[in-house]
Each structure stands twice: as structure tokens, then as C-alpha cells.
Amino acid sequence: MLSEIVCRCEAANCSRKLTDGSCMLVFRTEGGERRAYECECGHVTVTVAAPDE
Ligand SMILES: [Zn+2]
């Protein structure tokens, strides 16, 4: 199943949507999958997707 999570840049004064196209890095930890997104403003936002239970 494909779930689309809409996330937004965390930088102050910026709330651009972060799309899969701006995802630079995906890695897994015990806490789940983490994705690093680079926004057009240059800020990097890291999201955590908890594993399905
Ligand atoms: Zn931004």
C-alpha cells in the first residue's frame, strides 16, 4: 500500500510542501524510516515514518 505523507519544510517563514522529488536520503533506524528532504530554501527537514504495526 502506498501512503502519501504530506510534510512541510520546518524552516521559519517557509511552509513549502516537501515532495518525494526533494527527498535526498532515506534510511532506517529502530524507530522507523527516516527521510531527509531538502527544500528549495535550503533547509533540510527530516521526517520519521513509524513502521506499520
Ligand atoms: Zn523551506
Q: How far apart are CA 6 and CA 8, in angstroms?
A: 7
In a domain, 32, yes or no: yes
Q: What is the pLDDT of residue 2?
A: 52
pTM score of the predicted model: 0.72
Domain that holds residue 15: 7-49
In a domain, 2, yes or no: no
Ligand 1 centroid from CA 45, angstroms: 8
Q: What is the pLDDT of residue 52?
A: 64
In a domain, 28, yes or no: yes
Q: Is pLDDT larger for residue 28 or for residue 4? A: 28
Q: How far apart are CA 26 and CA 41, in angstroms?
A: 20
Ligand 1 centroid from CA 42, angstroms: 6
The CA-atom distances, in angstroms, between 7 and each of 11, 19, 29, 40 are 12, 8, 19, 14
pLDDT score of 3 more than 60? no
Q: What is the pLDDT of residue 51?
A: 64
In a domain, 1, yes or no: no
Ligand 1 centroid from CA 35, angstroms: 15
Quick: pLDDT tens for 20-47: 888 999 999 888 889 999 999 999 999 8
Residue 12: CB partners within 8 Å, gap ≥ 6?
none
In a domain, 33, yes or no: yes
CB-based contact 47:5 (threshold 8 Å): yes
Ligand 1 centroid from CA 7, angstroms: 11
Domain count, the chain: 1
